[in-house]
Structure 1
Amino acid sequence: MAKLLKLLQNEWMKLWHKKGTWVMVALLVVLTAGMMGLTKWIDTQRTDSMKQVGNASVEVSVGEQADWKASMEGELAGVRAQLADTSLTKSERKELEGEEKVLDYRLSNSIEPLDQFSREAMIMDPSGISGTVLLLAVIVAAGIVAAEFSQGTVKMLLTRPVKRWKILTSKFIAVNLFGILLMLIGYIVLVALAFILFKSGDGQYLVWNGKEVVEGSIWGKSFYMLLLSFGSVFVTSAFAFTIGSVFRSSSLAIGLSLFIYFMGSTVTMLLSRYEVAKYILFTHMDLTQYETGYQMVEGISLPFSLAVLAVYVVVFLVISYTTFVQRDVKA
């Protein structure tokens, strides 16, 4: 264990001594700030348009209230229509019944939902930063092993009096620690700008706790969404790590990983009508789908997705370790 920790420390120091690492951090901050700035601009344009609807602020207020109530009534009707389906699983029915309780409670007590451009809404859904973090983490994961071959340092690395699986483990852990750190940095920037750029909303975040409708925790939901959004970062990084260590090519690893990221949803949509769609990697990459309610494949749940992803990650790592441990040191 001591040797593994020493290796991990060395990998971490090597990673942060690279100029490119700090460029990645700066890029993450800039892109996150840009995303929040663009969102604020959209909110400003929307607010200006709403003010032009009526000459009096009372008319605008009444119109807004009618809009959200009509939207909630439509959602409630849709949920009740889904509940009429006798083929629903127990977990699906339970989730829909919770949604029904919340929607009915809002309408009965005139409690509007949080505005999508409110400070609370921005904080509750930090999943937007995962795309940038994924791209940066993939670059590191793809090159952390492949670079040893391209730079000619692999022979010295593998001839050290340390088991090869420990060397690979230290690199894999370093990659994921880097991804976690990027997620935290992006999250801090997002929250800070949410407080600076956006006003607190008048609505409430409500949840069904199994017994009654209560006000939910904004920060609890925020951290949960952050954790779910890290799933795609972790799995894609594991894939890039495998390709880079097996084929010794960081460019190939980055290219294939980006293909999975950008084309995954398209492949899932094309295969959604077939049973095989439940077992392909692309279907389960975005774990936030269970919170947003947008699922392209029916009949899957969060535990099922986690199980499928775990199998894929284990397969990736078995391939990586087998290849790395058995590789000729003179290669």
Structure 2
Amino acid sequence: MFSLIKNEMVKIFAKKANWIYILILILAVVIGGIIQQKIYGEPSDNWREETQTELNQLKKDLEAAPNEDKEWIMEQIQQKQRYLDENINPNAVSNWHFMNGTVIGMTMLVTLFAVIVSSASVSSEFAEGTIKQLLIRPHQRWVILLSKYISVLIYSIVLLIVLIISGYIVGLILFGSGDFNAKIFETTLDGQQKLAVVGTQFFLKVMYYIPSLLIIMTIAFMLSTLFKSQALAVGIGIFVLFLSSTIGGVIVLLAEKYTWTKFLIFPHLDLTVYALQEKILQDVTLPMSLIILAVYYIIFLLITFTFFQKRDISI
């Protein structure tokens, strides 16, 4: 098995495109860091005085504001006051703030590249006419397929590690070493402000992101075994990736009326929401989401390996 995995890893890294994906990740982090630095600039040391001045002005504005604007101004006043009460600089920027915001946002690139590589893993063997040479080896089909699956999984994790390391280095260079335990306010899906620790929040989001990456990568790998056309497998894989977030949002709205929708996979594909709040639907918590994803994961793997075992490999 180890030799098969090693051979598949050699195949992956022999393709220039897979190295280009890594370079794109690093470049995106650098560009994202530069843009963030230009937008936010250097945080002010007199932030308390500035925040207090803004707070006083908002209180004056509230007295003269029309009724339709008073609710929004009150929310702003409460937010400014929370910054002062918790001693949180609203404009603070450090490497950990950069990691928790910009770098986490770039995990979408990791997912995209993982989907492309996974979708092409088996279908490319058919497209290039090498599938017969692959299967004449003295190994069972499922072992060969498993080695391919493990190799794309390893590549996906490599992409994530590259993103985290490059993000930390770029953040360190551009924003300096910040306090891992610095407090921040995060906005939940319903607009509430949650007090959190910036470093802990970053690693929570990464931890919650990994199951989503695994599931989407597995779907792409399944498509790779179902279609002989590499272009079709990759195209459908990317389509599913970008459609999943839209469908997930629609299902969240429908869940209030149709309770069965919470068992569909789409609302559970973004577990990073649990870093902000305890529930994503009325009674859906993290353990339930993980159980639902695990069921779908097993189903996808069963379809993948069963189909490949019985597939006609004639080209």
Give the alignment's TM-score, normalised by structure 1.
0.74
Q: 2:212 aligns with which of 232, 238, 254?
A: 232
- The one-letter amino acid paired with 1:22 is W
Aligned residue runs from structure 1 range 126-205, under 5 A: 126-199=103-176, 204-205=182-183
SS of equivalent to 2:271: coil
Deviates more, 1:172-181 or 1:296-305: 296-305
Judged with a 3 Å threshold, the aligned counterparts in structure 2 of structure 1 residues 230 and 167 are, in CA distance, closer, same or farther, namely same
One-letter code of the match for 1:195? L
2:95 and 2:177 in contact (8 A); partners too: yes
Deviation at 1:199, TM superposition (A): 4.8
Partner of 1:22: 19
Partner residue, 2:69 = none
For 1:141 and 1:285, the matched residues in 2 are separated by 17
On the 8 A contact 2:127/2:230 being kept in 1, the answer is no
Question: Are the counterparts in 1 of residues 226 and 304 from structure 2 also a CA contact under 8 Å?
Answer: yes
- Does residue 1:62 correspond to 2:52, yes or no? yes
8 Å CA contact 1:232, 1:287 repeated in 2: yes
User: Percent identical across equivalent pairs?
Assistant: 29
Aligned equivalents of 2:244, 2:227: Cα separation in 1: 22
How far is 1:206 from its partner? 7.9
Aligned partners of 1:118 and 1:201 also within 8 Å:
yes
Partner of 1:210: none
How far, CA to CA, are the matches of 1:20 and 1:11 in structure 2?
Answer: 15
Q: How many Å separate the matches in 2 of 1:196 and 1:306? A: 37
Give the counterpart letter for 2:293 in structure 1. Answer: L
Match of 1:301 among 278, 285, 296: 285
Alpha-carbon separation, structure 1, partners of 2:56 and 2:159: 42
- Segments of structure 2 that go 5 or more residues without pairing to the other structure are 58-73, 186-194
Residues 1-331 of structure 1 mapped to structure 2, 5 A cutoff: 4-44=1-41, 59-63=49-53, 74=78, 110-112=86-88, 115=91, 117-125=93-101, 126-199=103-176, 204-205=182-183, 219-271=199-251, 272-273=253-254, 274-293=258-277, 297-331=281-315
In structure 1, the gaps of 5 or more residues are 76-102, 208-214
- CA deviation map 1:153-211 (0-9, x unaligned): 1111112110111100000010010010010101111111111222566893289xxxx
Deviation at 1:296, TM superposition (A): 5.8
How far, CA to CA, are the matches of 1:176 and 1:289 in structure 2?
Answer: 23
Aligned-pair Cα RMSD in Å:
3.4
SS at match of 2:137: coil
Aligned length: 284
Do the aligned residues in 1 keep the contact of 2:204 with 2:275 (CA within 8 Å)?
no
Give the direction of change, closer, same or farther, for the CA distance of 1:60–1:118 in structure 2 (3 Å limit): same
Maintained 8 Å contact 2:117/2:152: yes
Could you tell me how far 1:258 is from its partner in structure 2? 2.4
CA 1:156/1:291 → structure 2, altered by over 3 Å: closer, same or farther? Answer: same
Q: TM-score, structure 2 length as denominator?
A: 0.78
CA contact (8 A) 2:95 2:172 kept: yes
Q: For the residues of structure 2 that align with 1:257 and 1:131, how far apart are their CA atoms?
A: 14
- Aligned 8 A contact 2:278 2:285 in 1: no
